[in-house]
Chain A
Amino acid sequence: VNVRVTTMDAELEFAIQSVTTGKQLFEQVVKTVGLREVWYFGLQYVDNKGYLTWLKLEKKVLSQDVRRETPLQFMFRAKYFPEDVDNELIQDITRKLFFLQVKDEILSDNVYCPPETAVLLASYSVQAKYGDHTKEVHKSGYLTSERLLPQRVLEQHKLSKDQWEDRIQVWHEEHSGMLKEDAMLEYLKIAQDLEMYGVNYFDIKNKKGTELWLGVDALGLNIYEKDDKLTPKIGFPWSEIRNISFNDKKFVIKPIDKKAPDFVFYAPRLRINKRILLLCMGNHELYMQRRKPDTIEVQQMKAQARE
């Protein structure tokens, strides 16, 4: 069966068999792109009901409810985010994939970004694409056809393309001497401080039926009011959580402190509850692993990167 996997900057095609597992397909993808920091990533597909779903690596690909088309379509995406890109990401390819994915999320308004930060990020993305600004090469209008700013920023501030270009160009010139790879890292170092960066939002309710957001991210769980995804009202670091479970629509978070009361919330969509739990487990596992000594493999990767 023909399969197409799109990464942020490549399109790969494979032929798989009925016995091919998600893990085997995943391993072919990471081998092809040269990625070793695989723990952040997964394969997404659209199921027959139209929902975006993560491929289960332990199961056969064709036994999962992938929308029937030729070839079968998958997207290779980051599922988990580092707590700090500067300290954690080792390979250039990892930084590049994160840079492209995060940039797309910001430009599509999936992650809110205020105008000044948007222009700053745009200047780094221009440095990452073009390298140093030179007057002879980068003549007036050099950014006209580039997708550089979130749609919301373009709509709220009625500047012309030239006016936006002028602002971005000033900072592009300032980045002179910065390697393209370093510009991608600088982009991520700024983007990771955005309130919505790396947060997975889910609809939940409290006991009296108030609709709220549950945010699951690298540091823990947060609860937001429905009209404000930026300001968490309640937070639970992973270090304080002993266990999370659900039964039907009721979730229970048990604290490590056994004297403290359990925390209960309600997630109205059963289909989503397994996904919430898996994201919690994955983020928790990475949180704990980060606080242990580097594995031999990671030590080797870091040594190679230094060389």
Chain B
Amino acid sequence: QAKERAHQKRSNKKAPPMDWSKRSEVFSNL
């Protein structure tokens, strides 16, 4: 169970999916 909880963190390493235009928009608003 502890291993499984640790493994679930892997999905945190990925940013939300978005296209290139959205990436620039989000970036300029940070």
Contact = CB atoms under 8 A, between A and B. Distances in A.
A206 B10 contact: no
A195 B24 CA distance: 23
A208 B27 CA distance: 10
B10 to A, nearest CB: 4
A260 to B, nearest CB: 4
A222 B15 contact: yes
B24 to A, nearest CB: 6
A120 B23 contact: no
Interface in A24-38: none
A300 interface: no
Interface in A235-266: 235-236, 240, 255, 257, 260-261, 263-265
Nearest to B7: A193
A263 B20 contact: yes
Contacts of A231: 12
B9 A194 contact: yes
Nearest to A207: B28
B2 A212 contact: no
Given A119-B2, A194-B6, 11 more contacts: A190-B6, A193-B9, A206-B27, A208-B28, A233-B16, A233-B26, A234-B15, A234-B23, A235-B15, A260-B20, A265-B27
12 contacts: A116-B6, A171-B2, A193-B6, A206-B30, A210-B30, A223-B15, A234-B18, A255-B20, A257-B20, A260-B21, A263-B27, A265-B27
